[in-house]
Amino acid sequence: MSVRHAEPYRDVMELVGWTPLIRLRSVTDGVRTPVYGKCEFMNPGGSVKDRIGWAMIEAAEKEGKLQPGGTVVEATSGNTGLALAMAAAARGYRCIFTMPDKMSQEKVKLLRAFGAEVVITPSAVPSGHPDHYLERAHRIVRETPGAVLADQFYNPANPEAHYRTTGPEIWKQTEGRVTHFLAGAGTGGTISGVARYLKEQNPEVQIIGVDPKGSILAPYFHTGEIPEGDPYQVEGCGNDKVPGTLDLDLVDDYVTVTDRNSFLMARRLTREEGLFVGGSSGLIVHAGVELAKKLDDPDALVVTVLCDWGEHYLSKVFDDEWMRSNGYLTTESATVLGLLREKERDGFDLVAVAPSDTVRSALTAITSHDVSQLPVLADGECVGSVTEGDLMGRVIEDPALLDAPVEQVMDGPFPVVDGHLSAEYATRLLTRENAAVLVRTQDGIEGIVTRYDVVRSLTGDAA
């Protein structure tokens, strides 16, 4: 392990920023363009918002609006609240948040854990109403001496923080080789600040906004008109109005990603890359990987933002039941056994040979059942495997092998997985080396899942 953090820090705020940039491997398998993730979830408060929590407080101090004993107010329930609460705790300020009553108790408890005060407002009131959470925040500022509103959607300290920190870090970490930067916009602070810095270094760097399907930002970018907007479930990015901190002049393109693709990618980032992130990171990486495929250029360098830590989404993105009930995972294909049942419904059964069967009988089984590979089973265990291409090649070279026992020519066994494991897990085992996996239930080896089955299920060709 290389030496990091060799010196002690003055306080937690010194740990904000200089987050690692990590090359994404598994989710870009087979793609020539390198894609990197900027690990904002590794900030001490677990999100990219730590940068602005601190910066907005510092800016208010510099402007003389915030003085010792002062109060920071914001209308938020999300990561910005946590970032402000953390910074306020470290600097000894009082902190008050307003948020609608539909927000989860967990979020309220998290902010209170930092000593913040939380004012719950009714969600059933329209914007502009005195009890609306935004109006309440303004009123608290007016009525509390020494209070300032952080105001992340309009505060220039927000994009400025990314211009001063996130942008230069990406430039340095890529040694100026970044060619494409992708981010979602909630306030637009991240994308606008980073874009301004990167374009100052190299005007050719392409800045791509990524929007959840349903948000108005991408349509507004393309048409100049604000559409109705539709609900979406990815949190932290997208908007139903255009925030003051978003500078669309710096953005070259805006793409849209569905909730489903965002959540599935967040799960893949966690399970395949070990990067525990929320749905919006999945949204941005999904768009990054699609772009990387299209570019097909090993000299390009795509940077995505991994915005926040996955823990807040344990009962959503990372909960199979929630995913299924929202239609993001289909019930059947969510487990290996599900894939197997789909296949059995379509009339495919497990075909296998024994080690002592002849190569001739193995080839007959392969052709008559129209399969590409067979497991070799002995006493209910997989002891080897044969594939059509390999067997044919060997028999053409040496026809006498037709009467040899399969055990003389077989390859290693297929991996065996428990039926209740996720289909994603089995899919990952299907590599160039493993054409298939066997599925075990309490009754023993019950079936086989091949690359073909997974593709069939993914493309919806299964019944």
Q: Which residues are catalytic?
A: 49
Strands of 416-418's sheet in order across: 416-418, 436-441, 444-450
Q: Output the smallest distance, CB 296 to ligand PLP, in A.
A: 26
**For residues 189 and 288, which CB has a smaller minimum distance to ligand PLP in the complex?**
189
Considering only 71, 280, 333, 450, the residue that binds ligand PLP (CB under 6 A) is: 280
Q: Output the smallest distance, CB 132 to ligand PLP, in A.
A: 20
Q: Output the smallest distance, CB 390 to ligand PLP, in A.
A: 47
Q: Does 187 bind ligand PLP (CB under 6 A)?
A: yes
Considering only 43, 47, 121, 262, the residue that binds ligand PLP (CB under 6 A) is: 47
CB crowding 266-290: b at 16 or more within 10 Å, else e: bbbbbbebebbbbbbbbbbbbbbbb
Q: Binding to ligand PLP (CB under 6 A): which residues in 334-373? A: none
**For residues 38 and 136, which CB has a smaller minimum distance to ligand PLP in the complex?**
38
Q: Output the smallest distance, CB 40 to ligand PLP, in A.
A: 8
Piece in contact with ligand PLP (CB under 6 A), picked from 24-32, 117-125, 186-194, 249-257: 186-194
Q: Does 179 bind ligand PLP (CB under 6 A)?
A: no
Q: Output the smallest distance, CB 277 to ligand PLP, in A.
A: 9
Considering only 185, 289, 292, 363, the residue that binds ligand PLP (CB under 6 A) is: 185
**For residues 150 and 445, which CB has a smaller minimum distance to ligand PLP in the complex?**
150
Give the residue among 121, 95, 123 at the shortest CA–CA distance from 110. Answer: 95
Q: Output the smallest distance, CB 2 to ligand PLP, in A.
A: 29
**For residues 233 and 441, which CB has a smaller minimum distance to ligand PLP in the complex?**
233
Q: Binding to ligand PLP (CB under 6 A): which residues in 215-274? A: 236-237
Piece in contact with ligand PLP (CB under 6 A), picked from 106-114, 187-195, 252-260, 441-449: 187-195
**For residues 118 and 307, which CB has a smaller minimum distance to ligand PLP in the complex?**
307
Which two three-digit tokens encode residue 205?
């760097």
What CA–CA distance (Å, rounded) separates 293 from 291?
5
**For residues 82 and 366, which CB has a smaller minimum distance to ligand PLP in the complex?**
82
**For residues 53 and 419, which CB has a smaller minimum distance to ligand PLP in the complex?**
53
Binding mask 188-207 for ligand PLP (x = CB under 6 A): xxxx----------------
Q: Does 48 bind ligand PLP (CB under 6 A)?
A: yes
Q: Does 50 bind ligand PLP (CB under 6 A)?
A: no
What CA–CA distance (Å, rounded) separates 170 from 51?
14
What CA–CA distance (Å, rounded) separates 96 from 430?
52
**For residues 233 and 361, which CB has a smaller minimum distance to ligand PLP in the complex?**
233
Q: State the number of CA atoms in the 13 A half-sphere of 234 facing the CB.
A: 35
Piece in contact with ligand PLP (CB under 6 A), picked from 13-21, 44-52, 114-122, 383-391: 44-52
Q: Site for ligand PLP (CB under 6 A): how many residues?
A: 18
Three-state SS letters, the chain: CCCCCCCCCCCHHHHCCCCCEEECCHHHCCCCCCEEEEEHHHCCCCECCHHHHHHHHHHHHHCCCCCCCCEEEEECCCHHHHHHHHHHHHHCCEEEEEEECCCCHHHHHHHHHCCCEEEEECCCCCCCCCCCHHHHHHHHHHHCCCEEECCCCCCCHHHHHHHHHHHHHHHHHCCCCCCEEEEECCCCHHHHHHHHHHHHHCCCCEEEEEEEECECHHHHHHHCCCCCCCCCCCCCCCCCCCCCCCCHHHCCEEEEECHHHHHHHHHHHHHHHCCCECHHHHHHHHHHHHHHHHHCCCCCCEEEEECEEHHHHCCCCCCHHHHHHCCCCCCHHHEHHHHHHHHHHCCCCCCCECCCCEHHHHHHHHHHCCCCEEEEEECCEEEEEEEHHHHHHHHHHCHHHHHCEHHHCCECCCCEEECCCEHHHHHHHCCCCCCEEEEEECCEEEEEEEHHHHHHHHCCCCC
Q: Binding to ligand PLP (CB under 6 A): which residues in 297-336? A: 307-308
Q: Output the smallest distance, CB 188 to ligand PLP, in A.
A: 5
Piece in contact with ligand PLP (CB under 6 A), picked from 1-9, 183-191, 249-257, 390-398: 183-191
Piece in contact with ligand PLP (CB under 6 A), picked from 21-29, 41-49, 92-100, 196-204: 41-49
**For residues 310 and 375, which CB has a smaller minimum distance to ligand PLP in the complex?**
310
Q: Binding to ligand PLP (CB under 6 A): which residues in 76-95? A: 79
Binding site for ligand PLP (CB under 6 A): 47-49, 79, 184-191, 236-237, 278, 280, 307-308
